[in-house]
Amino acid sequence: MKVGDIRRVELPSGAAAVYRLADGFYATADLCSHGDASLADGELEDDNILCPYHLGSFCVRTGAAVAAPCIDPIATYPLEIVDGTVTLVWTGD
């Protein structure tokens, strides 16, 4: 993944979106908390993921909603990077 890339990853329940920012990798829930959209289809603008459906956005570091119409935050997931492999740490819902 290059800086600015997003990848959708299936989880035991739902899916996550993994982002590469300039300073590292981050992961959030893939489903927008507002509309029925996959954030992995969206676009990164600095630290924020722009939802492709209604163009609201979330901070990928914290999951906080940062632009209308999104209000509720989304989950974030910890990542572990060992020997160049990024692993998402899934601890259940």
Give the residues lining the site for other proteins (CB under 8 A). Answer: 37, 41-43, 52-55, 68-69, 71
Q: Which is nearer to other proteins, 69 or 78 (CB)?
A: 69
Q: How far is the CB of 31 from other proteins (least distance, A)?
A: 14
- CA dist 91 and 21 (Å) reads 23
- The string of DSSP codes covering 16-54 is EEEEEETTEEEEEESB-SSSS-BGGGSEEETTEEEPTTT
Q: How far is the CB of 5 from other proteins (least distance, A)?
A: 13
- Nearest CA-CA partner of 27 in 89, 92, 84, 72: 89
Q: How far is the CB of 53 from other proteins (least distance, A)?
A: 7
Question: Residue for token digits 């601890």?
Answer: 91
Q: Which is nearer to other proteins, 15 or 55 (CB)?
A: 55
Q: Which is nearer to other proteins, 23 or 46 (CB)?
A: 46
- Nearest CA-CA partner of 16 in 79, 80, 64: 79
Q: Which is nearer to other proteins, 4 or 78 (CB)?
A: 4
